[in-house]
Amino acid sequence: MSDTIHEAFRRGCREGGFDLVQPFDPRWLDDVDLGGHALGAAPGGLGFFVAHSRALWSPFLAQRTDETHPLDRHCEQVVTRAAAGLGVPARCFFSHHEPHFPIQRVAEAIGFADLSPSHLSLHPEHGPWVGLRAVVIAEHAYAGAAPPPLPHPCEGCDRPCVEALSEAVAKAQPSWRNWLAVRDACPVGRGSRYGAAQLNYHYTKKRRWLIPDD
């Protein structure tokens, strides 16, 4: 049953471009400060962490609607639909909603992504080239293993991201290229860097970049 519920949810997310879905036990968050957000999980609930790599881009372009914030809306639609398909009550927490849900803390606690000194979450394979989008808490038993062991790639790294971050925050108004420099400084997951269109859209939100990557 649990495998089926995992697979159905994962499939729904993957079809929308959210290729990184990790089930977890909400009890792993018992000691995490969620900044006042209440998960409302009954003991024994089932959590899903929803994120994406560069794999998001094509499905998003194909499915997007003509909204002011097309990516946020796309995320809400895909995740809400996948959650409804679980067939049990479920709550969705989106990283773009305010007050902000501390999704990076959750990512670390469930073994999804380590936190770097530049405040970026590093996925073991994709490094900082992931978007963290939603957490879903369902009324269903979690039947998996303990959190996966998380590599700590910043240990033993020269941490070039710290200098890049200092340069960004030293500016009264950092440009998107300053923020991009922080991500580019990280040696982890360089092969997963977003393509030109996805990258430009993520950083500038200019609609002219809503085009396929080569």
Considering only the stretches 37-45, 123-131, 140-148, 152-160, report the one whose residues sit in contact with ligand B12 under the rule CB under 6 A: 123-131
Q: Kindly determine how many residues on this chain lie close enough to bind ligand B12 according to the rule CB under 6 A.
A: 25
| Euclidean distance between CA atoms 23 and 6, whole angstroms | 7
Q: Which is nearer to ligand B12, 5 or 131 (CB)?
A: 131
Q: Which of residues 184-213 bind ligand B12 (CB under 6 A)?
A: 202-203
From residue 9 to residue 48, the character string flagging contacts with ligand B12 as x (rule: CB under 6 A) and all else as - is --------------------------x-------------
Q: Which of 39, 92, 114, 118 binds ligand B12 (CB under 6 A)?
A: 118
Residue 129, CA distances (Å) to 25, 32, 125 in order: 25, 24, 9
Q: Which of 11, 81, 119, 152 binds ligand B12 (CB under 6 A)?
A: 119
What end-to-end distance do the CA atoms of the chain give, in Å?
40
Alpha helices in 33-135 (DSSP H): 57-63, 70-84, 103-109
Report which residue's Cβ sits closest to ligand B12: 119
In the complex, the smallest distance separating the C-beta of residue 65 from ligand B12, rounded to whole angstroms, is 19
Q: Does 131 bind ligand B12 (CB under 6 A)?
A: yes
Secondary-structure breakdown of the chain: helix, strand, coil percentages, each rounded to the nearest 5: 40, 15, 45
| Euclidean distance between CA atoms 59 and 78, whole angstroms | 11
Q: Are 9 and 81 in contact (CB under 8 A)?
A: no
In the complex, the smallest distance separating the C-beta of residue 80 from ligand B12, rounded to whole angstroms, is 17
Q: Which is nearer to ligand B12, 144 or 153 (CB)?
A: 153
Interface residue list for ligand B12 (CB under 6 A): 35, 95, 100-105, 115, 118-121, 128, 130-133, 165, 169, 179, 182-183, 202-203
